[in-house]
Amino acid sequence: MRITGLGHAGMFIETAGGSILCDPVIGPTFFGSWFPFPNNRGLDWERFGNADFLYVSHRHRDHFDPALMQRYVPKDIKVLLPEYPTDDLETDLRGLGYDNIIYTQAGVPLEFGDLTLMVTPLRAPSDGPIGDSSLSVDDGTASILNQNDSHPLDLERLLGFSKPDAYFTQVSGAIWWPMVYDLEQGAKQNFARLKREAQNKRAMYYIEKVDAAHVFPMAGPPMFLREELFRFNGFGLEDDSIFTDQRQFLAHMAQERPAQKGYLFVPGTQVDLSGGEISVTQTLYSEDEIEHVFGDKWAYLAAQRDSRQDEIAAEEATRAAVLPPEEMLAAIKEWWEPLLRRGRTIRDGVGGNVRFRIGDLDMVVDFPRAKVREYAGEECIYWYTIPADLVSTNIRDHEIDWSNSIFLSMQFEVGRSGKFNEFLTTFLKCLSRDRIEYVENWYSEQTDQTEDAQLGDWVVQRRCPHLRADLTKTGKIENGVLTCSLHDWKWDLASGRCLTSQGHPIRSTRAADDDATVPAA
């Protein structure tokens, strides 16, 4: 088996039973903000596009690049479609002309001659754009797990496919916190450090559990080549950003698990696997060029910025004309109010007013009353400032996921009073009737969390209130605070209060105060 890195999360897998093109992206994506790091334009995209199968893990535009696909990927390619609760990804693919679709079943292996593969989707509201997935591949000569951005809860079932020889996983998350937030610089630096540590911790959790002989960190970081965003590359020019690069993570991994082998995976990295043997070579960049990319990163990024402004200008030219404030307000009101009326759990979870300053429009979304109106001085729990051309473009395109467009572009600002509100972010990625109804049903199904387990000196509900991870496997208690390692959410066990977000309390008592004997697992 041969795996070639295509940049970011992209890879080309050649097996004894056919080839698979995974998440090919050149970009720029997210309104011209994200470019793969390092530059991957020098790859032979004609060859990689001529694969037997196409696998797009999810709709995030750093994994799904319609322009690249239209140019390089034939329309008759067999498309491996993850089993998601809504058909948004299928609709996108069919809209591009890809109709040769293979409907995979969650966690069910498929055989194509010598090739066996399995797509394992996740379906929680916070999983990517309402869905994320991983790909398992085995052709008899080798087995790999391309976990991508997904954070699976049931690893035992996933690893039941086969023991992977090589493991490919995200180590640099796609997020806008804390970079775009209205915070004091010292607070922003502290939050960025905590976020990087949490991302490292989560990646190491999966690396330890999968325990593959060979590990390849991937799926990030991006390059920010827009002038106003350039400072947020990597850890940031002022140490206020979160994007760990491949070499930095490999150094961290070497400290944490020195006996496990990690490898640099960049555009053109070629991994050959057979019978437990591995060979890793670089086919696009020389060793000196790689040293320049990582050893003199800011100079490399500056050269990329200076040479690629035409791509940014081309993206800006595709944006919609800015709508007048009254037209924009009317369009959002007509679009959002019916969704708000359907989203009772979301409305209750947000529980307040949210202000949007969009060019000359100043509006408020009153979640308790399911209303959109002009801002009139109301107290608000969140406030956004967003360029009017981005919102006008989303209205024109009826973009149902603003996290997959405006938010990941980082071309906006936001402030809040209090903690992160998951329900607000969920609403802004669920701007369709199908998505709202799915998420409302999903939240309803999560309310049954009756089983308890003992963790140290505490008895807590076994399932995490956030995404129902098994806390006997993912939970850790220090000084009365429980942390779930999957997303670094925290609870004060004495009160049951969530320290990370509004709502999501946990049921907890001290073991000595609990008459029942509760097994740990």
How is domain 2-312 classified at the architecture level of CATH? Answer: 4-Layer Sandwich (3.60)
Least confident of 214-218, 298-302, 496-500: 496-500
Question: Tell me: domain 325-443, CATH 3.30.70, correct?
Answer: no
Examine the pLDDT at 515 and tell me if it is beyond 60: no
The DSSP string of 411-436 is -SEEEESSSB-HHHHHHHT--SHHHH
Q: How far apart are CA 432 and CA 338, in angstroms?
A: 10
Tell me the pLDDT tens digit for each residue of 33-53: 999 999 999 999 999 999 999
| Residues sharing a CB contact under 8 Å with residue 40, sequence separation 6 or more, in sequence order | 6, 7, 8, 10, 26, 267, 284
Which tokens belong to 149?
């951005």
* Residue 96 C-beta-side C-alpha neighbours within 13 Å: 23
Residue from 444, 433, 435, 440 nearest 337 by CA: 433
Q: What is the pLDDT of residues 384-440, one digit of tens each?
A: 999 999 999 999 999 999 999 999 999 999 999 988 999 999 999 999 999 999 999
Q: What DSSP assignment string belongs to 138-190? A: E-SS-EEEEEET---S-HHHHHTS---SEEEEE-S----TTTTB---HHHHHH
Q: Which CATH architecture describes the domain 449-513?
A: 3-layer Sandwich (2.102)
Which pTM value belongs to this model?
A: 0.87
- Which residues are CB-contacts of 181 (< 8 A; sequence separation ≥ 6)? 188, 191, 413, 414, 415, 416
Q: What is the mean pLDDT of the chain?
A: 93
Q: Where are the domains of the chain?
A: 2-312, 325-443, 449-513
Task: Evaluate the omega torsion of the peptide bond into residue 217 and state whether it is cis, within 30 degrees of 0.
Answer: no
Dist. CA 380–CA 396, nearest whole Å: 27
